[in-house]
């Protein structure tokens, strides 16, 4: 079972983290960081399910199934951010994926807390649509 997230790709949220690019998605704290007691810098392993350009409905078929890392950044009040890892951003960039122009769908089933690997939502699917 997994967490499925469908969100707009955001650019430069104003928070930097050494291993993270400036692009990612927002997610409510109640979905990931609160139930799993996560902190900024935790790595989230994700698989791209779909990326669709909202201007021309073009799909980036070559990226389906691509595994990437996201970096959790704790936000304020009710939102956190999952930023694309710097090592993985070129995979998306080279296909022409642009922030503010795409909806991206991720499948997430594992988080790394330091050296500990933790399965999330192992008994049921949770889907979040932005």
The arrangement of secondary structure in 3-121, i.e. its CATH architecture, is: Beta Barrel (2.40)
Which H helix or E strand runs over 110? strand 102-113
pLDDT tens, 88-98? Answer: 999 999 999 98
pLDDT tier for residue 56 given thresholds of 50, 70 and 90: confident
* C-alpha span between 65 and 46 (Å, rounded): 9
Q: Is the dihedral of CA 11, 82, 90, 115 positive or negative?
A: positive
Burial environment of residue 81 by CB neighbours within 10 A (0 to 12, 13 to 18, 19 or more): buried
Q: Supply the pLDDT for residue 17.
A: 84
Inter-CA distances, 125 with 56, 103, 106, 122, Å: 30, 20, 13, 8
């Amino acid at each position: 079972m997994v967490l499925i997230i469908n969100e707009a790709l955001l650019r430069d949220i104003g928070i930097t983290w050494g291993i993270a690019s400036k692009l990612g998605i927002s997610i409510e704290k109640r979905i990931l960081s609160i139930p799993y007691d996560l902190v900024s810098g935790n790595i989230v392993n994700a698989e791209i399910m779909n990326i669709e350009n909202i201007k021309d409905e073009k799909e980036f078929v070559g990226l389906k199934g691509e595994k990437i890392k996201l970096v959790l950044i704790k936000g304020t009040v009710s939102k956190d951010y999952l930023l694309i890892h710097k090592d993985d951003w070129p995979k998306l960039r080279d296909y022409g994926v642009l922030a503010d122009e795409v909806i991206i769908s991720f499948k997430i089933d594992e988080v790394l807390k330091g050296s500990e690997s933790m399965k999330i939502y192992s008994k049921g699917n949770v889907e979040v649509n932005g």
